[in-house]
Structure 1
Amino acid sequence: MVYERRIHERKVPMRDGQILGYVHSTESFGAVDGPGIRFVVFMQGCNMRCQFCHNPDTWKKNVGTEMTTAEVLNKALPYRQFWGTDGGITLSGGEILLQIDFAIELFTKCKQLGIGTCLDTCGQPFTRRQPWFSKFEQLMKVTDILLVDIKHINSDEHRKLTGYRNENILDMCKYLSDIGKPVWIRHVLIPARTDFDNYLAQLGDYIKTLKNVQKVEVLPYHTMGVHKYHEMGIKYSLEGIEPPTPERVKNAEKLLHVEDYRGYLTNTTTTSRA
């Protein structure tokens, strides 16, 4: 039977004494979702409306497959032999921080089992207001590494691109740097949106201020999700924009100083028991 309890003044869905998560889908052998081979859980729900999002089917909140943390672990553990010392479980989205209680409970169980944990987030829900910030601090104690998408360095342009400003997202990056939490920074390169030398240089300079960045990735914009917009009856804002050329990708990698971030080559995901 599904019921609810209040956690920090917020109702959280429960079943059999465990927090329920709304799951969009899972991937058994994720190779681009953090260090090593990973079991990836894509959670449902996102506040942002990124013009380039290739998964608009993950936007809606409080829908999807309801799963307890135990059910997710039971689905993931048969693949553990493939993870080695680098791999583990990645929570992605949608936006996983919208289901932060679920993430805390799942990653706490992962650390008790010695499983490496990775959080893939755009950081939009981040705030230092309580009680949310205390939850985030708790989550960081059981998170080994984060993949952080910085959509745009300029806050006004970020709002045009995603619907939200970026000050709190950059504040999250600063906090992660202050506590020394390993991070991989990702940036989607989009012609006529993010592919401008001045903004790329500003982003490169900002990343240089962070002390915890192990890797910087330039992700070329692609159109593989456009059919979903058509199927869902949603207007696609980037109609007619083609992926960036290899030359522009190399230019972005230079301006973001990608080659300066090599910590991921020696990173071993922490799998010690909490």
Structure 2
Amino acid sequence: MHSIESFGTHDGPGIRMVVFLQGCKLKCLYCHNPDSIETSGGIEYPIEDLVQKAIKLKSYFGKKGGVTVSGGEPLLQSKELITFFKRLKEEGIHTNIDTNGRILNHFSKDLLDDYADLIMLDIKHMTEDGYQFITGKPNKEISFSLAKYREDSGKKMWLRYVLIPGITNKPELLHALGEHFKNYKTIEKIELQPYHKLGVHKWDALGWDYKLKDTRENTKEELEAASVILDKYFREVKIN
């Protein structure tokens, strides 16, 4: 595990306990938790201790809140998360996974099908070249396969999309995103994540080169223009 946030408000519905796991197969250029990428270096945390921590926070969750597992990439630890989520559901606590969608195996399918009330799927880019540029890895279709798998299951999903000036905010890419998912019934909303540089100091601390250092943040007009385009395709568009 990487860390825990007790009162997350941008990690799914309501107020949530957010568990950040260690390890990710991607190395996104804008990652604000680059210290969570390496699979080594995390701390072991007993599942039942996490469950008890969530139970103590249950009164703050209300009807909408619950527990979100983020990362890193949570699906790397799908087998362990099955045990964790099973206990949370026994306690009546809503479960959510924030994922890049790169892992779809026996354990992750069981986790998604039986124990994840919601998933938030990060869409990195709509072209293969753009996907590889951002993530450092090939085959964007893996993530789309997971989206289709979730859609076929009939279970709830949100999309997330980081709006990077000059890279992901082009109107043709936003239209492509909308066209790809416009007929999905399980998508409740898409969240636009404004590009920011809050994690740059972590890249510096790791001695890594932050390649987007010259990329500016979004203007209010750009965020609104993107929202207008996506509003044609999705039930709800939220700017985080």
> TM-score surpassing 0.5?
yes
Matched, 1:99 2:77: yes
SS across alignment from 1:143: coil
Matched, 1:237 2:211: yes
Q: Distance in 2 between matches of 1:168 and 1:206?
A: 14
Contact kept in structure 1, 2:29 and 2:135, CA below 8 Å: yes
Paired position in structure 2 for 1:209: 183
User: Among residues 108, 118, 139, which one is paired with 1:136 in the alignment?
Assistant: 108
Greater CA deviation, 61-70 or 230-239?
A: 61-70
Which residue identity does 1:26 align to in structure 2?
A: I
Paired position in structure 2 for 1:156: 129
User: Among residues 159, 177, 187, which one is paired with 2:151 in the alignment?
Assistant: 177
Paired position in structure 2 for 1:219: 193
Contact kept in structure 2, 1:185 and 1:216, CA below 8 Å: yes
Q: Distance in 2 between matches of 1:260 and 1:121?
A: 20
Deviation (angstroms), 1:49: 0.7
Contact kept in structure 1, 2:190 and 2:237, CA below 8 Å: no
User: Among residues 31, 37, 41, which one is paired with 1:63 in the alignment?
Assistant: 41
Larger strand proportion of the pair: 1
Instruction: Name the TM-score, length of structure 1 as normaliser.
Output: 0.82
Matched, 1:167 2:145: no
Q: Give RMSD over aligned pairs.
A: 1.6
Q: Where do 5+ consecutive residues of structure 2 fail to align?
A: none
Contact kept in structure 2, 1:217 and 1:258, CA below 8 Å: no
Deviation (angstroms), 1:249: 0.9
Compare CA radii of gyration and give the structure with the larger one: 1
Deviation (angstroms), 1:262: 4.0
Contact kept in structure 2, 1:107 and 1:117, CA below 8 Å: yes
Q: Distance in 1 between matches of 2:175 and 2:237?
A: 21
Contact kept in structure 2, 1:91 and 1:118, CA below 8 Å: yes
Q: Where do 5+ consecutive residues of structure 1 fail to align?
A: 1-22, 127-131, 265-274
Aligned-residue sequence identity (percent) comes to: 39
Matched, 1:147 2:125: no
Map 1:1-274 to 2 at 5 A.
Answer: 23-126=1-104, 132=105, 134-140=106-112, 141-164=114-137, 165-257=139-231, 260-262=234-236
Contact kept in structure 2, 1:187 and 1:218, CA below 8 Å: yes
